[in-house]
């Protein structure tokens, strides 16, 4: 395996000159730069990753904190992860993913392991925020806490999605609505997206003078079915449903069908979730897509923009929701 000294000897320069060509930390004449690159190619030289990082003060790694808790839908989380990984590669970066609820995780990655950090599953009052705000590296939140502590945020506009779902149901004539939402543990943690969804549906229903019942559901077919059956038993006048729980959606739709409800007719339904996951249900429901890949890739772009500028201001970006009506479903 070729060493930097071998490249220097073949190019007729010093090893330090080769290092400067690789790092770009000093201006090297174009003929000398060309000789060095020709020697690198001829010897198939590959700089050591650690040395390259030291020379450039960059690790070419983006950290991603994505806790995989029992109450989260991993298939949905991985859509966001796929967006982060794909876009990071286009920027020449690898991704270091941390999946545990480890209190020391932020400090570890901040200690020079990554160039930037992206954090998912952000809570409305997140205990990690003070540590993240002290990081030298850019930190991007996927989620919008009550106080971002000066950090940039990107997320889907769940509050507006909730409002949009309620307006759609109201337009169909529905007057007694229910939200089958996130698992109880997600709500108890006050995870940002779940809080904003509840706030959106309840505020819009109140402003329109509609009845609104909000219920959590564990992330399973059985839980969604049981919760929907209980709602129908307790509120037989229920005539519109919002579902924001991908794993429970099949159960909700099945319970409605078993109760003799005609989905999209006497009981319109709006499902909030990734479009491809909603389409698999094969039922005529209105949908509000959650573009996980777009959000993940945008988080990377925001991190790279901040990494390239010492004066990059913090910002909050929200992806506006769009509703596809029942007739667009197969």
- Which CATH number characterizes residue 68's domain? 3.40.50.2300
87 and 210, same domain (yes or no): no
- Give the total number of structural domains in the chain: 3
315 and 243, same domain (yes or no): no
Residue range(s) defining the domain that contains residue 143: 61-156+292-320
27 and 77, same domain (yes or no): no
**Any domain includes 325:** no
- Torsion of the alpha carbons at 249, 250, 252 and 254, rounded to the nearest 10: 160
For the segment 154-173, what is each residue's pLDDT rounded down to a tens digit?
999 999 999 999 999 999 99
Q: Assign 328 a pLDDT band (cuts: 50, 70, 90).
A: very low
**Any domain includes 175:** yes
109 and 231, same domain (yes or no): no
**Any domain includes 330:** no
Q: Count the alpha carbons within 13 Å of 320 in the hemisphere toward its beta carbon.
A: 1
Q: What number of other Cβ atoms are within 10 A of residue 49's Cβ?
A: 12
223 and 248, same domain (yes or no): yes
CATH number at residue 38: 1.10.260.40
**Any domain includes 231:** yes
The span from the CA of 281 to the CA of 286, in Å, is 12
275 and 187, same domain (yes or no): yes
For the segment 218-273, what is each residue's pLDDT rounded down to a tens digit?
999 999 999 999 999 999 999 999 999 999 999 999 999 999 999 888 899 999 98
Q: Assign 45 a pLDDT band (cuts: 50, 70, 90).
A: confident
The answer to whether 168 touches 141, Cβ cutoff 8 Å, is no
pTM of structure:
0.79
Q: Assign 23 a pLDDT band (cuts: 50, 70, 90).
A: low
**Any domain includes 251:** yes
The answer to whether 95 touches 88, Cβ cutoff 8 Å, is yes
The span from the CA of 114 to the CA of 150, in Å, is 20
């Amino acid at each position: 395996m070729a060493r930097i000294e071998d490249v220097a000897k073949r190019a007729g320069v010093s090893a330090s000159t080769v290092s400067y060509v690789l790092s770009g930390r000093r201006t090297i004449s174009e003929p000398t730069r060309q000789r060095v690159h020709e020697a690198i190619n001829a010897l198939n030289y590959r700089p050591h990753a650690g040395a390259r990082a030291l020379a450039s003060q960059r690790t070419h790694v983006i950290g991603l904190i994505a806790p995989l808790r029992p109450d989260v839908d991993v298939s949905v989380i991985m859509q966001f992860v796929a967006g982060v990984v794909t876009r990071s590669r286009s920027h020449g970066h690898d991704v270091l993913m941390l999946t545990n609820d480890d209190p020391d995780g932020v400090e570890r990655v901040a200690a020079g392991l990554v160039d930037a950090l992206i954090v998912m599953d952000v809570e409305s009052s997140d205990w990690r925020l003070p540590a993240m705000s002290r990081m030298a590296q850019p930190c991007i939140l996927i989620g919008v806490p009550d106080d971002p502590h000066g950090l940039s945020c990107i997320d889907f506009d769940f509050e507006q999605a909730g409002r949009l779902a309620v307006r759609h149901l109201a337009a169909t004539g529905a007057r007694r609505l229910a939200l089958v939402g996130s698992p109880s543990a997600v709500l108890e943690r006050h995870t940002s997206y779940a809080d904003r969804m509840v706030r959106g549906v309840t505020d819009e229903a109140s402003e329109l003078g509609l009845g609104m019942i909000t219920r959590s559901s564990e992330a399973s077919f059985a839980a969604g079915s049981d919760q929907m059956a209980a709602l129908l038993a307790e509120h037989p006048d229920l005539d519109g449903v919002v579902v924001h729980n991908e794993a429970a959606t099949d159960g909700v739709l099945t319970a409605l069908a078993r109760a003799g409800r005609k989905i999209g007719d006497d009981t319109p339904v709006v499902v909030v979730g990734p479009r491809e996951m909603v389409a698999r249900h094969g039922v005529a429901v209105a949908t509000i897509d959650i573009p996980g890949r777009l959000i993940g890739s945008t988080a990377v772009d925001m991190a790279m923009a901040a990494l390239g500028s010492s004066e990059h201001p913090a910002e909050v970006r929200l992806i506006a929701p769009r509703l596809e009506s029942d007739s667009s479903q197969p």
